[in-house]
């Protein structure tokens, strides 16, 4: 491979990687993969790759003789293949199909500590799915929340352990990236439970009741309203 050809490929890879990272950030799909608190790092990295690519392009245009490079084609492929997949594979957040392998978290690491004061201070109709699960885990007597209004958004998940008039409305919570994501959900009770397909995103309004799931008290929303909604710009919750 000539030095000039290798330099061109390197420029394409640097610019491609930088543009890819910036595109993911500004399109909002970056949040399908990592926590939003790392956005600045990705922006910095994307801008850095673009600047490196432009600097390499400038050097190439000033280069007099092409010469020859001993760099291996594998060096380019290591970057090119994942970059190509990144552009071609459709962006999609985790949904209920991921629960088959990850399972549903009902209590681990969700209660107590400084978090509890935050959830308890929120008006009940502003609590997310994650907030409600934490609230029930923290409460010594969950029945005190019976009758409180609830208003949550999440995806539909049908669990074999639920009744015929129930389904789970869930969200994935992400600490750093989707590799550490865990699913949480609250039970929704409605006569039309079977009409809602898995993975449909819904907006649930109703009143809270205390149910049982895996042998422990668990939040149930007696649904007064169920509306299908698009996938939110930020599909994940953050502990």
On whether the 96-228 domain is CATH 2.40.50, my answer is yes
Bridge pairing between strands 149-157 and 166-173: antiparallel
pLDDT tens-digit readout, 126-151: 899 999 998 888 888 999 999 999 99
Count CB atoms within 10 A of the CB of residue 220. Answer: 24
Count CB atoms within 10 A of the CB of residue 42. Answer: 16
Do residues 10 and 56 touch, judged by C-beta distance below 8 A?
yes
**What pTM was computed for the model?**
0.77
Residue spans per domain, the chain: 3-88, 96-228
SS (H, E, C) 145-206: HCCCEEEEEEEEECCCCCCCCEEEEEEEECCCEHHHCEEEEEEEECCCHHHCCCCCEEEEEE
Tell me the average pLDDT across 8-16: 88
- Tokens, residue 54: 């432009």
Look at residue 111 in the predicted model and tell me its pLDDT: 47
- Tokens, residue 91: 């962006």
Do residues 202 and 223 touch, judged by C-beta distance below 8 A?
no
pLDDT tens-digit readout, 35-94: 888 899 999 999 999 999 999 998 888 875 555 555 566 666 777 787 888 888 888 888
* Cα separation of the two ends of the chain: 50
Do residues 234 and 128 touch, judged by C-beta distance below 8 A?
no
Look at residue 88 in the predicted model and tell me its pLDDT: 80
Residue with tokens 């949040």: 31
CA distance 80 to 208: 51
Look at residue 114 in the predicted model and tell me its pLDDT: 47
The beta-strand segments (E) located in the chain are: 149-157, 166-173, 182-189, 201-213, 216-228
Look at residue 109 in the predicted model and tell me its pLDDT: 54
């Amino acid at each position: 491979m000539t030095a000039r050809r290798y330099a061109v490929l390197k420029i394409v890879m640097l610019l491609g990687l930088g543009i890819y990272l910036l595109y993911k950030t500004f399109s909002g799909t970056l949040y399908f993969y990592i926590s939003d608190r790392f956005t600045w790092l990705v922006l910095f990295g994307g801008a850095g790759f673009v600047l490196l690519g432009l600097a390499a392009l400038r050097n190439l245009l000033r280069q007099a003789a092409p010469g020859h490079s001993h760099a291996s084609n594998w060096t380019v492929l290591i970057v090119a293949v994942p970059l190509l997949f990144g552009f071609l594979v459709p962006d999609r957040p985790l949904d209920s199909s991921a629960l088959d392998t990850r399972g549903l978290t009902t209590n681990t690491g969700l209660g107590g500590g400084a978090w509890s004061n935050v959830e308890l201070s929120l008006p009940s109709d502003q609590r997310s799915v994650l907030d409600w699960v934490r609230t029930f885990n923290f409460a010594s007597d969950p029945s005190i929340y019976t009758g409180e209004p609830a208003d949550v958004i999440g995806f539909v998940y049908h669990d074999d352990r639920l009744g015929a008039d129930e389904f789970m409305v869930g969200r994935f919570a992400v600490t750093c990236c989707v590799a550490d994501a865990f699913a949480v959900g609250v039970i929704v009770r409605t006569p039309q439970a079977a009409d809602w397909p898995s993975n449909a995103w819904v907006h649930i309004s109703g009143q809270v009741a205390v149910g049982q799931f895996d042998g422990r008290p668990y939040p149930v929303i007696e649904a007064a309203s169920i509306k299908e909604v698009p996938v939110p710009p930020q599909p994940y919750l953050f502990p």
